[in-house]
Amino acid sequence: MRNNALDNGPSVRRTIRVAVWSPYKPLEQELLELIRSTGSAETVGPLDGRPLPEAIRESGADVLVVDVDGSPSGARELIGQILRSAQGVRILAMSTHPDRRLVAGALEAGAVGYVLKECAFEDVPNAVHAMARNQCYLSPAIDDWNENCCKGSRSAESGQS
């Protein structure tokens, strides 16, 4: 059985809270249901009705799975806005694009993981577990090109990877 607690150090453990945001609401709902069904985390949301940075801050989520394809301002800017508003949240970027520049850009902006939508239903639960252990996660379909990619993320630099 997998550990479903957030590792906040040697003496503090609690259930990890996960939120999902996508402009494609059926995908968002399916991912929330998948996370709930694994028993691996508590889900929060939906995050509708408010700007995303505000909604995630108010949700109290530890991890945000965010569809960066739907960001009109780009993944870097969206991730930066979220991290400025909701400090401490770990961002798992999700995209249809395995392009190295996009992956690196999301990680440099502060995401702690990156999954491809085509693999999301397999990868998101694994990513949530990794993030609960303060580890970075890349979809296996992309991490073979740069096994050190997570070392450039802000969370890794601050010792949270």
Span 26-48, pLDDT tens digits: 999 999 999 999 887 899 877 87
Q: What are phi and psi of 139, to 5 degrees?
A: -50, 135
Q: What is the pLDDT of residues 59-91, one digit of tens each?
A: 889 999 999 985 656 888 889 999 999 988 999
Contact present, 56 and 47 (Cβ < 8 Å): yes
Residues 127-132: what's their mean pLDDT?
A: 90
Question: Which pLDDT score is estimated for 101?
Answer: 83
Contact 136, 150 (CB under 8 A): yes
90: left (phi over 0), alpha (psi -120 to 50) or beta: beta
How many domains does the chain divide into? Answer: 1
Q: Residue 115 in contact with residue 137, Cβ under 8 Å?
A: yes
Count each helix (H run) and each strand (E run) in the chain, helices first.
7, 8
144: CATH: 3.40.50.2300
- Is it the case that residue 8 has pLDDT exceeding 50? no
Could you tell me the residue range of the domain that residue 69 belongs to? 5-157
Percentage of the chain beyond pLDDT 90 is 42
Q: Which of 12-16, 57-61, 134-138 has the lowest mean pLDDT?
A: 12-16
